[in-house]
Amino acid sequence: MTHNNVKILAFAGSSRTASLNKKLVAIAAKGATDAGADVTLIDLRDFPMPLYDGDDEAANGLPENALKLKKLMREHHGFLIASPEYNSGYSALLKNAIDWTSRVSSKGEPPLQAFAGKTASLMAAAPGALGGLRGLYQLRALLMNMNVFVHPNMRAVGNALQQFDESGGLNDRDLQSAIEMLGAQTVSSIHL
């Protein structure tokens, strides 16, 4: 089956230049590309936004970068999201991006337009043994409440400081294949 029309948006919930999660989502993006999808890999650092504030939204509408990111999200059928774990939860950067892009920005727009009906796969890389798994369960619940189908095969890479090679790949070839497969499975679960 061909997946040439499937569009996937891939990003990490981290702004650090050397982010382990940016490396991880790039591997999943390769798997999705190899499966025939058109993948757009972005960096949330390129979409800086203020902390969500309802008064700010009421006075000024959505920030320009929130509108840009929301447009990108609407143009894609699914997401690959790698989330760092901060204090057993997902990152504030990721939550803020979701909060802004979930807002209605024009009259008559359906709620959750950037999310409802999309497919997402979640992954994490963290220095600890659990690899960020605790934060993924919270992120999964949030996205499912926004009518996103979250692929059941979440992947967490523990002891991640030792897992990546100099080129950004994973030292464990089986793990590399599993993350690429997560990207491919995301593509195959989208039916246009």
Residue 92 burial (CB count, 10 A): 11
pLDDT of 3: 62
pLDDT lower than 50: segments of the chain: 1
Percentage of residues in the chain having pLDDT higher than 70: 98
Q: Which residues of 11-26 are buried (b: 16+ CB within 10 A; e: fewer)?
A: bbbbbeeebbbbbbbb
Question: What is the identity of the amino acid at 86?
Answer: Y
Q: In terms of pTM, does the model score above 0.85?
A: yes
pLDDT of 192: 80
Looking from the CA of 46 toward its CB, the CA atoms found within 13 Å total 8
CATH of 7-188, one of 3.30.200.20, 3.30.420.40, 3.40.50.360, 3.20.20.10: 3.40.50.360
Q: What is the C-alpha to C-alpha distance for residues 190 and 148, in angstroms, rounded to an integer?
A: 12
Contact 163, 172 (CB under 8 A): yes
- Tens of pLDDT, residue by residue over 175-189, are 999 999 999 999 999
Question: What is the identity of the amino acid at 125?
Answer: A
Domain residue extents for the chain: 7-188
pLDDT of 1: 45
Strand-pair partners of 89: 86
Distances 68 to 9, 20, 95 between C-alpha atoms, Å = 13, 25, 17
Q: HEC profile for the chain?
A: CCCCCCEEEEEECCCCCCCHHHHHHHHHHHHHHHCCCEEEECCHHHCCCCCCCHHHHHHHCCCHHHHHHHHHHHCCCEEEEECCEECCEECHHHHHHHHHHCCCCCCCCCCCCCCCCCEEEEEEECCCCCCCHHHHHHHHHHHHHCCCEECCCCEEECCHHHCECCCCCECCHHHHHHHHHHHHHHHHCCCC
- Tens of pLDDT, residue by residue over 81-118, are 999 999 999 999 999 999 999 999 999 999 999 999 99
